Amino acid sequence: MRRTLGHSGIEVSAMGLGCWAIGGPFLFDGKPDGWGRVDDAESIRAIQTAIDLGVTFFDTADVYGTGHSERVLGEAIRGRRDQVVIATKFGYTYDESAKEITGTDVSPGYIRRACEASLRRLQVNEIDLYQLHPGEAPAEREDDIWAVLEDLKAEGKIRAYGWSLGSAEAAERFARNTSGVSIQHSAHIFHDPKDLFDAAERHGLANVINSPLAMGLLTGKFTADSQLPADDVRAAGHSWVPFFEGGRPVPGFLAQLDAVREILRSGGRTLAQGALAYLWARSERAIPIPGFKSVKQAEENAGAMAFGPLSPEQVEEIRSIVDGMVKAS
């Protein structure tokens, strides 16, 4: 299972791995934005195992762990650079010593400094996919952002660029005004953004899908009694985390998952593998990037590629069930 990043010619595995969780603890708006404590040695083993299993695409950001995720990924791929495609992001500012996000900066000068810092942490000479991280960049600054990214391409610092965004309107502007190759956004059985999938199809962009497992809810490991620790982003009370309240799974999402459980597990898949298979069936441009903190999780995610996508009929059945439950509530 292979995908191409838009018109770039850069080929990647149909599933990547998202490296947010391996960045370790850090803060956003004064609240935890990481996924708890991490074991760097385990993270490195997980990345190398995933490569052995055919995963070639790894997505991180300079702000994950305020630089730590990039450093861990860079260490893991030493000696294997030619086997992987590396994506990272820019646009948030941070205090590395305080482990805290401090704001945003998308000025050309900052983008250049951020790029150089990411290159050093990743221990690479070129970033394959460099993505604008803030989803709503100031409209008056967009032309300047795209111009400096084109310059970085010409200089051999990056191979291609994309935007992590949340609206089809932004995707249309991006496609119309740039030579960018990808949009990154969330999608899963609970949230199927047809307008973003359609925009990518219309303009030949790749859909890099973050939170494909709904921040872990679609792994099936949570029950109504589950309680996440206070240092986990899912327990921090961020308004943009819909699946958990006070560190507990939202009952409505658990009910929806239970209603489609057997469809997702068809063909011998695990629930997580079924959730990834749903996205491959949803679009041939979809590249889900589930997170991980262990070798076992990396193995399970990579194993999804052996099963391939769900059938169109299964996707239609899932949509009918989930959408019907949402309307009924």
Between CA 23 and CA 89 the distance in angstroms is: 14
As a whole number of angstroms, the distance between CA 105 and CA 75 comes to: 27
Report phi then psi at 80, rounded to 5.
-130, 20
- How far apart, in whole angstroms, are the C-alpha atoms of residue 2 and residue 55? 10
How many residues in the chain? Answer: 329
Residue 166 DSSP label = S
> Hey, is 71 helix, strand or coil?
helix
Q: Cβ distance 97 to 125 under 8 Å?
A: no
Sorted by sequence, the CB contacts under 8 Å of residue 108 that are 6+ apart come out as: 144, 145, 147, 148
Cβ neighbours around 152 below 10 Å, total: 21
Amino acid identity of residue 33, one-letter, is D
For the annotated catalytic residues, the residue numbers are: 64
**For the chain, how many helices (H) and strands (E)?**
10, 16
Residue 20 DSSP symbol: S
Structure tokens at 205: 């962009």
End-to-end, the C-alpha distance of the chain in Å comes to 37
